[in-house]
Amino acid sequence: MPTPPALTRRQVLRLSATLALAVAGGSTLAACGNDKSALTGNQTNVSDYDKIIAGGPVAEAAAVDGNAWAAKIKAAGTLKTGGSDAGPLFSMKDPSTGKITGFDAGLAQLLSRYITGKADGPIALSITTVDTRETLIQNGTVDTVFATYSITPARAKKVAFAGPYYRSGDAIMVKSDNTTITSVKDLDGKRIATQQGSTTADRIAKDAPGAKVSLFPDDAQCLAALKTGRVDAYVIDQGILISNASTDTTLKVVGEPFSDDYYGIGVTRDDPSAKEFVNAWLTAIEADGSWAKLWKATIGTVVAGDAPAPPKIGSVEGS
């Protein structure tokens, strides 16, 4: 005998999203972010993506062998890299295939391809958090960190930054029915969510000093805070916000990006050849179009228009 449904379909969906969050827990506990694509979606086109990696440039053998840092990675046959598996557009795991794709993940594979010459650009990913990035580079657990890693002078004292390889601009996301927030000035006096470890909080403090900023561990929790009304707005890189809004009509992105934030590739400071080599690789993929193609296949799936010009290498304090 069928019983009448106690919950509407919508309620069930929302509840299961909440449970997925609960299961995922704080991503400070790393590696448990697989279920989050239920909330954020992952739109990277995988077959194009694999072609871009396979079509990436390969360094001349002499260049690799002549560089102590790169020669070690070539001998190991894989690039040990640090990053996320729960960062939409940049490094996100597809729970059905286990494959991690995104702009950061793709760049790590392109660097691996450049050094090892292998078509699939093998990487061994360690999940890093904002608490562990510097330490894992310093103690040699990872060769590189690709993790929407903002270049700051304080961090540059611990690790060397190759790049910058990407210019991020923070934008504002609110609920669709919100009409009071349209630009960064309107954030004054409002409750704002952003991700821990981003440099966004400092910028909001400057541009909207009356704003109350709460920092949450990852994208999924920031979204949950916004949707449940704990905060009035969510501020982070525009691409991430557009990606979120594209899968959820109850949210919208308002205004234009109001800041510049430059992402770098973290490598060891102990061996200057590391930064030198990664910068040479970055120059190569920017020149041959791989950088732009990867942008188009990842961030470009939600941000309209052609790939922007990459930022000038070494142009940021700390890089």
Partner 1 sequence: MITVLQDNLGALWQGVLTTLAITALAFLSSVLLGTLVAVFRVSPIPPLRLVGAVYVEIFRNIPLLALLILVAYGLPEVGISLSLFTTAVLSLALVSAAFACETVRAGINGVPVGQAEAARALGLTFTQSLARVILPQALRTMVQPLVNIFIGVALGSSLAAAVSVGELTYQAQQVGNRTAEAMLLFGISALVYVVIALLGGGLGSVLERRLAVRR
Q: Which residues bind partner 1 (CB under 8 A)?
A: 11, 14-15, 18-19, 21-23, 25-26, 28-29, 130-132, 134-135, 152, 154-155, 157-158, 193, 196-197, 201-202, 214-217, 221, 224-225, 228-230
Closer Cβ to partner 1, 159 or 294, answer by number: 159
Q: Considering the complex, what minimum distance in angstroms separates the CB of residue 312 from partner 1?
A: 24
Q: Considering the complex, what minimum distance in angstroms separates the CB of residue 11 from partner 1?
A: 8
User: What is the full DSSP assignment across 297-319?
Assistant: HTGGGTS-SSPPPPPPTT-STT-
Task: Give strand pairing partners of 265.
Answer: 162
Q: Considering the complex, what minimum distance in angstroms separates the CB of residue 283 from partner 1?
A: 27
Give the H or E element holding residue 264. Answer: strand 261-267
Residue 152 DSSP symbol = -
Closer Cβ to partner 1, 199 or 273, answer by number: 199
CA distance 156 to 127: 21
Q: Is 154 exposed, middle or buried (0-12, 13-18, 19+ CB in 10 A)?
A: exposed
Closer Cβ to partner 1, 1 or 22, answer by number: 22
CA distance 122 to 109: 6
Identify whether the C-beta of residue 255 lies closer than 8 Å to the C-beta of residue 182.
yes
Closer Cβ to partner 1, 214 or 247, answer by number: 214
The amino acid sitting at 22 is A
Identify whether the C-beta of residue 78 lies closer than 8 Å to the C-beta of residue 41.
no
Q: Considering the complex, what minimum distance in angstroms separates the CB of residue 13 from partner 1?
A: 11
Q: Considering the complex, what minimum distance in angstroms separates the CB of residue 221 from partner 1?
A: 8
Q: Considering the complex, what minimum distance in angstroms separates the CB of residue 116 from partner 1?
A: 30
Q: Considering the complex, what minimum distance in angstroms separates the CB of residue 143 from partner 1?
A: 19
Query: SS3 for 127?
Result: strand
Query: SS3 for 213?
Result: strand
Q: Considering the complex, what minimum distance in angstroms separates the CB of residue 26 from partner 1?
A: 3
Write phi, then psi, for 269 (nearest 5 degrees).
-85, -20
Q: In degrees, to the nearest 5, what angle opens at C-alpha 299 toward C-alphas 294 and 304?
A: 110
**Residue labelled with tokens 């990696």:** 53
Q: What share of the chain is helix, strand, coil (3-state, %, to 5)?
A: 40, 20, 40
Closer Cβ to partner 1, 32 or 307, answer by number: 32
Closer Cβ to partner 1, 26 or 255, answer by number: 26
Closer Cβ to partner 1, 104 or 218, answer by number: 218
Closer Cβ to partner 1, 27 or 81, answer by number: 27
Identify whether the C-beta of residue 217 lies closer than 8 Å to the C-beta of residue 32.
no
Identify whether the C-beta of residue 267 lies closer than 8 Å to the C-beta of residue 143.
yes
